[in-house]
């Protein structure tokens, strides 16, 4: 306990001093960068000599004092690791190094991507000095901590858990940042490069693409860090969830594309700027390409996990198909529910009847999920031909749709009954007919799903626990030894009279029998 408290003291003081030194360097960077054109046209005058001198003095004093104390505590840390080899793999060391590094990456990368690169691309006169100074100083701190972390290997237990939390948690955050950057940079870049800005987009397409590559590089880098984590189920779970994230964006991109197509068919085409412009309400290119990228990257990483023995290749492929089938089915049945709702609203238009745009959206969502039908047929055939590998993905798909149907039936039915009963007793909610239609649409779709997939689940015994296949070991065949009758004088005489033995052999047997007695 005393040793752990000592290590806690060493790391918290050491890392706090490093953060203070990084702050000092960020302060002088802020002053020096303000002398350049990075401060923009609206930031006022450049720092004078007095401000520069104050910054230099501050960073020198902070570096000397805090640097000396940080060096002393680092020496104490190294001495502790020499005296106790387990100190390098301790949970305390892993906690402080991984937590600080994760917070640094999670703050410096988005600040540099959004408030430096993207801001400079869209508004060249914007002041980016503070954001750049913070990003550079924080990234320098992250590099120091990463080098120190790599000096030792995290031990099993809490230490390894903290490291995995850092790697996988930051990877998820970087994927979210990449998604935001992709949507805000790819669409205007396409408008500027291919349509000469007809959609109203402005900015520097090179810097916009560079901002996307910035997030992409860190995201791929963190994915590369966990490539050798062969003992963690967390790796497979998060990779499959991220694969579903990518497939979901592909389905959403297809929905947007079909939505635009049906709007053209119904002669209510959206404005060009709503498709590729700054508004981008009907943008389909950005989400589809992002989904394609994420799906492709995580497919590669999951194949690496398969080669390392974490999952069978056939199970991996079938699980990916099951995820795609579930997401496509969600879009398909959601679209069916919207079509039912629009039909009910047409029959009783409260407050308004649906327009052609509503019909286009509902039909587009259903069409975007039509791929679920051939995927489900393929999955069923694989389950029949290869039940050992396909049983798990098949069970997940059927139970997911069955559970979704039960939820839609229960929630939709409850909402519809609530709105109808309150209106029946003279206390209706606002637009209660519309609420009833929404609940009916959801409950009808839920009833169809339950009717289809509950029967499948019962017929295929998916609610029962999987049967263990016990290999049948054949019992050894015991060959009975031939039994011989005991040799007597009467037996010998019988054989002699029967002619099976000669007189001399009979005499020899009788003499041998006399000797044995």
Task: Please give, one letter per residue, the 3-state secondary structure of 448-505.
Answer: HHHHHHHHHHHHCCCCCCCCCCCCCCCCCCCCCCCCCCCCCHHHHHHHHHHCCCCHHH
The answer to which of 69-73, 344-348, 508-512 has the lowest mean pLDDT is 508-512
pLDDT band with cut points at 50, 70 and 90 for residue 484: low
Whole-number percent of the chain with pLDDT over 90: 54
Name the pTM for this structure.
0.84
Any residues with CB less than 8 A from the CB of 498 and at least 6 apart, and which? none
Give me the residue label for tokens 């306990």.
Answer: 1
Give the mean model confidence (pLDDT) for residues 239-263: 95
- pLDDT for 457 equals 87
Any residues with CB less than 8 A from the CB of 487 and at least 6 apart, and which? 509, 513
- In whole angstroms, what is the distance from residue 263 CA to residue 271 CA? 11
- pLDDT for 414 equals 97
Tokens of 30: 């802020």
Distances (CA, A) of 108 to 23, 111, 257, 288: 13, 5, 35, 28
DSSP-H helix ranges across 348-467: 356-368, 372-385, 387-424, 432-459
**Residue-averaged pLDDT of the chain:** 88
What is the number of helices (H) and of strands (E) in the chain? 17, 0
Q: What is the DSSP letter of 35?
A: T
CB crowding 370-391: b at 16 or more within 10 Å, else e = ebbeebbeebbebbeeeeebbb
- In whole angstroms, what is the distance from residue 403 CA to residue 447 CA? 11
| Residue of 215, 289, 216, 206 lying closest to 250 (CA atoms) | 289
Give 178 or 43, the one with higher predicted confidence: 178
Angle at 311 between CA 310 and CA 316, to 5 degrees: 140
The answer to which of 294-303, 366-375, 415-424, 470-479 has the lowest mean pLDDT is 470-479
Give the mean model confidence (pLDDT) for residues 174-201: 87
- Residue 378 · residue 321 · CB < 8 Å: yes
Q: What is the DSSP letter of 34?
A: T
Give the mean model confidence (pLDDT) for residues 410-436: 93
- pLDDT for 90 equals 86
The neighbour count for residue 196, using CB atoms within 10 Å, is 8
pLDDT digits (tens, 9 = 90+) for 136-180: 999 999 999 999 988 888 777 888 889 999 999 999 999 999 999
- pLDDT for 474 equals 57
Domain locations in the chain as residue ranges? 2-175, 312-459, 490-517
Give the mean model confidence (pLDDT) for residues 272-277: 82
Task: Tell whether the model's pLDDT for residue 481 goes beyond 80.
Answer: no
- Residue 230 · residue 272 · CB < 8 Å: no
| Residue of 364, 348, 149, 196 lying closest to 265 (CA atoms) | 364
pLDDT band with cut points at 50, 70 and 90 for residue 469: very low
Task: Tell whether the model's pLDDT for residue 1 goes beyond 70.
Answer: no
């Amino acid at each position: 306990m005393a040793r752990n408290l000592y290590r806690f003291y060493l790391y918290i003081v050491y890392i706090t001093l490093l953060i203070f030194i990084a702050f000092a360097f960020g302060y002088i960077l802020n002053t020096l960068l303000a002398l350049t054109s990075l401060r923009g046209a609206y930031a006022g005058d450049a720092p004078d000599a007095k401000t520069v001198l104050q910054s230099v003095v501050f960073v020198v004093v902070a570096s000397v004092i805090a640097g000396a104390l940080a060096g002393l505590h680092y020496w104490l840390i190294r001495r502790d690791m020499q005296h106790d080899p387990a100190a390098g793999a301790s949970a305390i060391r892993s906690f402080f190094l991984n937590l600080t590094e994760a917070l640094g990456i999670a703050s410096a990368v988005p600040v540099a991507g959004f408030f430096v690169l993207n801001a400079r691309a869209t508004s060249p006169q914007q002041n980016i000095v503070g954001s750049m100074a913070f990003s550079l100083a924080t990234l320098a701190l992250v590099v120091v901590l990463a080098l120190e972390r790599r000096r030792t290997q995290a031990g099993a237990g809490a230490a390894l858990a903290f490291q995995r939390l850092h790697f996988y948690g930051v990877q998820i955050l970087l994927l979210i940042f990449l998604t935001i950057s992709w949507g805000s940079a790819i669409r205007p870049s396409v408008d500027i490069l291919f349509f000469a800005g007809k959609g109203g987009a402005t900015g520097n397409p090179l810097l916009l693409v560079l901002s996307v590559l910035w997030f992409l590089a860190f995201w791929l880098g963190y994915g590369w860090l966990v490539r050798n984590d062969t003992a963690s189920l967390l790796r497979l779970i998060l990779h499959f969830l991220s694969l579903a994230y990518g497939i979901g964006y592909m389905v959403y991109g297809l929905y947007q594309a079909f939505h635009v197509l049906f709007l053209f068919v119904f002669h209510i085409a959206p404005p060009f700027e709503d498709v590729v412009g700054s508004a981008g309400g009907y943008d389909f290119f950005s989400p589809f390409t992002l989904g394609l990228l994420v799906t492709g990257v995580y497919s590669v990483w999951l194949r690496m996990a398969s080669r390392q023995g974490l999952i069978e290749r056939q199970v991996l492929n079938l699980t990916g198909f099951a995820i795609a089938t579930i997401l496509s089915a969600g879009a398909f049945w959601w679209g069916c529910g919207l079509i039912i709702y629009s039909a009910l609203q047409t029959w009783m238009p409260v407050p308004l009847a649906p327009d052609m745009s509503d019909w286009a959206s509902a039909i587009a969502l259903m069409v975007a999920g039509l791929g679920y039908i051939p995927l489900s047929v393929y999955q069923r055939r694989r389950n029949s031909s290869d039940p050992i590998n396909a049983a798990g993905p098949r069970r997940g798909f059927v139970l997911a749709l069955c559970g979704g149907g039960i939820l839609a039936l229960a929630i939709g039915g409850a909402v519809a009954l609530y709105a109808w009963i309150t209106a029946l007793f003279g206390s209706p909610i606002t637009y209660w007919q519309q609420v009833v239609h929404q609940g009916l649409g959801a409950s009808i779709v839920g009833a169809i799903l339950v009717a289809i997939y509950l029967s499948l689940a019962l017929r295929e015994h998916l609610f029962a626990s999987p049967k263990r296949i016990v290999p049948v070991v054949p019992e050894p065949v015991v060959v009975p030894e031939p039994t011989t009758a005991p040799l007597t004088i009467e037996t010998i005489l019988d054989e002699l009279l029967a002619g099976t033995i000669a007189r001399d052999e009979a005499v020899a047997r009788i003499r041998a029998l006399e000797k044995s007695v």
